[in-house]
């Protein structure tokens, strides 16, 4: 029976798995011992193969006819796409067509999409759903270290650290096998501190759980640094030798004395002092953030505050210590390195850098001046669709913005205003359902490629079998569109050939893959970037020899607390926060169709504390409305004492009247342009 060693199609942990079988309905998932998962898988990984032969799998292109979609041949569907692109660009210019990618796409696809947008379509409008996921940590990482790699150390370091501070992360539900490292850390006598407004499964494992008011993490970080300075825990030699900007940060955090921060955040002074001591006295310590830290209108500054704390304690670059960020989507890391971001060329180069443009243009065989300039971020791009000076067509690959973008009703209106919406997907997602053309594409077990996991480790995804008849890979779709558009630019169908080109394009950039090839990945259980040459060992631990800044020093950035864009008031007395549950993944287009996952988590809900529930006469299981200034969600109440009385929580995996993003805010971080998913003002109403 055929068998292949590969990785899970879902989150950034990229657990190792073996696929066995290949015939219809016969693919079996076996857990594989890989450094990230040590033989473990979560429910999502175990059931991933069910989608391969799912009855709702798309195997025929669809085109819009009136209010419905009807089957079409590839020739007709691609003809409609190419005809639309030609007509719209002739009438409105190159920027009339936009591309929207995804953080789950392989490195090869992310690279090909960026090349297709810039060199074939000639549009500046390309961005992707990773903007919703990790862009604030990316921006803060570049600001401090000169480079953005989620974890600049191997995941295994978690198991050995004396102290781990997890901020806005819930791996017990989002990536359960990672908890093996936390268990190892606990068994070795280490301390785990979790910062989260909810008492999550992860928080329950912690030595200490801080439950701040949503949107106040930055003040906690500044208070911890304040205490670290006062109590003599900062590493003065490290600060002097390896950093710049500490004095200004010291002046700012002087204003964050613990009693003030207790009033601001609700976190007791005694707990702040305990955390400062645990971190300060630890021989090795890790500060790790995730979406709870980032998805705010001050997300970049909030991550900077946590990095400041880590730098002051002398952690980054020290063996077993450091600062890192847990990436969410499967290729959240690689997906933001190779050119599907609005301001970026492959290798994490800036598109406005003349040297980068000349290098990438030479790899693509085009003139540097022919490459467009920076576009706009995902929310801003979606907001411009169909407007007089915005794109008239959108091509979506590996994304479901109708579900995943904030203020989703407005997104639906903007998509409806387009002349042409094209979606490549393997199920009829909520975005595909409103498209003009739907192109059925291959799944993870049907194509080869590479993924870069949350550690910056480049992995091989391997095909077990061919795509079903009628289905094409994303690369084949992009290559065929390129051919039909008559472009002289070559876009390869073969993923290994694409990777070879990506290596050349990334050479010399911050995310340098030049020394990585597929054979080497196979032989070494993955290779960590930067890896500039075949003889280079790769870089599991970054910053041991200094930082990727012009002077080699890490940069402190002084940051102040700011209130969320929407504060609570009499009409909207709760903070609403959103997130994930164990058995579902992101927009839910895949996992909602898996029977076991649907049974485990069949629908959305709103978590509410017993005190406000009693005051509003709401009982557990009762259908209620969560209302914000942008819309309404109708879901059953889940009355729990694991959430703050001033906070509501709704998971974002379900569509229709349960769609959490109908109510979320599209306020953006000024640096990363990431939306404020994690806090908006809301009220709770009973349904008559
Ligand atoms: Fe897949 Fe993530 Fe679950 Fe691992 S933790 S099995 S990578 S979804």
> What residue's CA is closest to ligand 1, atom 3?
42
**CB neighbourhood size of 447 (10 A):** 23
> What residue's CA is closest to ligand 1, atom 4?
15
Ligand 1 and 8: CB distance under 6 A: yes
Ligand 1 and 444: CB distance under 6 A: no
Ligand 1 and 366: CB distance under 6 A: no
Ligand 1 and 10: CB distance under 6 A: yes
State the distance from the centre of ligand 1 to the C-alpha of 172, rounded, in angstroms: 11
Q: Closest ligand 1 atom to the C-alpha of 9?
A: 1
CA-angle at 259, arms to 256 and 265, nearest 5°: 75
Contact 628, 572 (CB under 8 A): yes
The band of 525, judged by pLDDT with boundaries at 50, 70 and 90, is: confident
Contact 213, 646 (CB under 8 A): yes
- Among 9, 13, 18, 173, name the best residue to mutate to test ligand 1's pocket (greatest count of ligand atoms within 8 A of Cβ): 13
Q: Give pLDDT, residue 615.
A: 96
State the distance from the centre of ligand 1 to the C-alpha of 272, rounded, in angstroms: 33
> What residue's CA is closest to ligand 1, atom 2?
11
Ligand 1 and 175: CB distance under 6 A: yes
Segment 32-39 mean pLDDT: 93
Ligand 1 and 37: CB distance under 6 A: yes
State the distance from the centre of ligand 1 to the C-alpha of 434, rounded, in angstroms: 30
pLDDT in tens, 43-86: 999 999 999 999 999 999 999 999 999 999 999 999 999 999 99
Contact 177, 17 (CB under 8 A): no
The band of 194, judged by pLDDT with boundaries at 50, 70 and 90, is: very high
Q: Give pLDDT, residue 25.
A: 65
Give the whole-number percent of the chain exceeding pLDDT 90: 90
618 pLDDT more than 70: yes
Q: What is the rounded distance in angstroms from the CA atom of residue 656 to the CA atom of residue 661? A: 10
State the distance from the centre of ligand 1 to the C-alpha of 597, rounded, in angstroms: 13
Segment 104-124 mean pLDDT: 97
Owner of token pair 């798995």: 17
Please give the full DSSP string across 540-564, using - where no structure is assigned.
Answer: SS-STT--SSTTS-EE---------
State the distance from the centre of ligand 1 to the C-alpha of 324, rounded, in angstroms: 19
435 pLDDT more than 90: yes
pLDDT in tens, 386-409: 999 899 999 999 999 999 999 999
The band of 461, judged by pLDDT with boundaries at 50, 70 and 90, is: very high
Question: Which tokens hold the place of 195?
Answer: 């910062």
440 pLDDT more than 80: yes
Three-class SS state of 678:
coil
Q: Closest ligand 1 atom to the C-alpha of 330?
A: 7
Q: What is the rounded distance in angstroms from the CA atom of residue 671 to the CA atom of residue 606? A: 31
Q: Give pLDDT, residue 366.
A: 97
Of residues 462, 445, 455, the one with CA closest to residue 496:
462
Q: What is the rounded distance in angstroms from the CA atom of residue 520 to the CA atom of residue 503? A: 13
- Among 42, 173, 326, name the best residue to mutate to test ligand 1's pocket (greatest count of ligand atoms within 8 A of Cβ): 42
Q: Give pLDDT, residue 328.
A: 82
Ligand 1 and 179: CB distance under 6 A: no
Q: Which H helix or E strand runs over 37?
A: none
Ligand 1 and 13: CB distance under 6 A: yes
- 676 sits in the region (left: phi over 0; alpha: psi -120 to 50; else beta) called beta
β-strand 574-579 against 647-651: which pairing, if any?
A: parallel
Three-class SS state of 210:
strand
Q: Give pLDDT, residue 334.
A: 87
Q: Closest ligand 1 atom to the C-alpha of 14?
A: 7
Q: Which H helix or E strand runs over 63?
A: strand 62-65
> What residue's CA is closest to ligand 1, atom 6?
45
Q: Give pLDDT, residue 293.
A: 84
24 pLDDT more than 70: no
Q: Give pLDDT, residue 20.
A: 94
> What residue's CA is closest to ligand 1, atom 5?
175
Ligand 1 and 14: CB distance under 6 A: yes
State the distance from the centre of ligand 1 to the C-alpha of 44, rounded, in angstroms: 6
């Amino acid at each position: 029976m055929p068998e292949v060693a590969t990785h899970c199609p879902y989150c950034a942990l990229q657990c190792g798995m073996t696929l066995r079988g290949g015939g219809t309905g016969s693919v079996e998932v076996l857990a594989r011992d890989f450094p990230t998962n040590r033989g473990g898988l979560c429910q999502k990984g175990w059931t991933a193969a069910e989608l391969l032969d799912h009855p709702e799998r798309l195997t025929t292109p669809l085109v819009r006819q009136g209010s419905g979609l009807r089957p079409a041949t590839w020739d007709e569907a691609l003809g409609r796409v190419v005809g639309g692109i030609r007509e719209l660009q002739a009438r409105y210019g190159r920027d009339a067509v936009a591309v929207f990618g995804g953080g789950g796409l392989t490195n090869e696809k992310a690279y090909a999409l960026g090349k297709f947008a810039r060199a074939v379509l000639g549009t500046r409008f390309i961005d992707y759903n990773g903007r919703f996921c990790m862009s604030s940590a990316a921006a803060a990482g570049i600001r401090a270290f000169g480079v953005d790699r989620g974890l600049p150390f191997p995941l295994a370091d978690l198991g050995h650290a004396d102290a781990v501070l997890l901020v806005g992360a819930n791996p017990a539900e989002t990536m359960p096998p990672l908890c093996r490292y936390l268990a190892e850390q606990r068994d070795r006598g280490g301390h785990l501190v979790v910062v989260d407004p909810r008492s999550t499964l992860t928080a329950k494992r912690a030595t200490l759980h801080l439950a701040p008011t949503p949107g106040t993490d930055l003040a906690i970080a500044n208070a911890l640094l304040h205490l670290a300075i006062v109590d003599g825990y900062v590493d003065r030699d490290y600060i002097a030798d390896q950093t710049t900007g500490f004095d200004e940060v010291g002046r700012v955090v002087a204003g964050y004395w613990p009693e003030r921060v207790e009033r601001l955040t609700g976190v007791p002074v005694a707990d702040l002092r305990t955390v400062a001591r645990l971190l300060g006295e630890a021989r090795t310590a890790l500060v790790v953030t995730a979406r709870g830290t980032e998805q705010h209108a001050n997300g970049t500054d909030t991550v900077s505050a946590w990095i400041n704390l880590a730098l002051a304690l002398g952690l980054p670059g020290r063996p077993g210590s450091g600062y890192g960020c847990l990436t969410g989507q499967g290729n959240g890391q690689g997906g933001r390195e190779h050119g599907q971001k609005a301001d970026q060329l492959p290798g994490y180069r800036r598109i406005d850098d003349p040297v980068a443009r000349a290098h990438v243009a030479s790899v693509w065989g085009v003139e540097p001046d022919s490459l467009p300039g920076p576009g706009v971020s995902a929310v801003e791009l979606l907001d411009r669709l169909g407007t007089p000076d915005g794109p008239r067509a959108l091509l979506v690959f590996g994304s479901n913005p109708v579900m995943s973008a904030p203020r989703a009703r407005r997104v639906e209106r903007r998509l409806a205003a387009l002349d042409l919406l094209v979606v490549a997907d393997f199920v009829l997602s909520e975005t595909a359902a409103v498209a003009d053309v739907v192109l059925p594409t291959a799944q993870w077990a049907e194509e080869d490629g590479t993924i870069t996991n949350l550690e910056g480790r480049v992995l091989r995804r391997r095909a077990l079998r061919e795509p079903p008849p009628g289905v094409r890979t994303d690369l084949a779709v992009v290559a065929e569109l390129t051919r039909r558009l008559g472009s002289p630019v070559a876009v390869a169908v073969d993923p290994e050939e694409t990777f070879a080109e990506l290596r050349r394009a990334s050479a010399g950039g911050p995310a340098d893959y030049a020394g990585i090839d597929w054979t080497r990945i196979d032989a070494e259980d993955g290779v960590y970037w930067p890896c500039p040459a075949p003889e280079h060992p790769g870089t599991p631990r970054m910053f041991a020899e200094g930082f990727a800044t012009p002077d080699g020093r890490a940069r402190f950035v002084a940051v102040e607390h700011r209130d969320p864009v929407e504060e609570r008031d009499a009409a909207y007395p709760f903070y609403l926060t959103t997130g994930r549950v164990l058995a579902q993944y992101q927009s839910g287009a895949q996992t909602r169709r898996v029977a076991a996952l649907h049974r485990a988590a069949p629908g959305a809900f709103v978590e509410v504390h017993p005190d406000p529930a009693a005051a509003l006469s709401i009982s557990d299981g009762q259908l209620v409305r969560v209302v914000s200034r942008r819309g309404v969600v109708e879901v059953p109440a889940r009355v729990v004492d694991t959430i703050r009385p001033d906070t509501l929580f709704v998971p974002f995996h379900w569509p229709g009247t349960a769609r959490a993003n109908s109510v979320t805010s599209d306020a953006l971080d000024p640096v990363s342009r990431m939306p404020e998913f994690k806090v908006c003002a809301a009220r709770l109403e009973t349904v008559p």
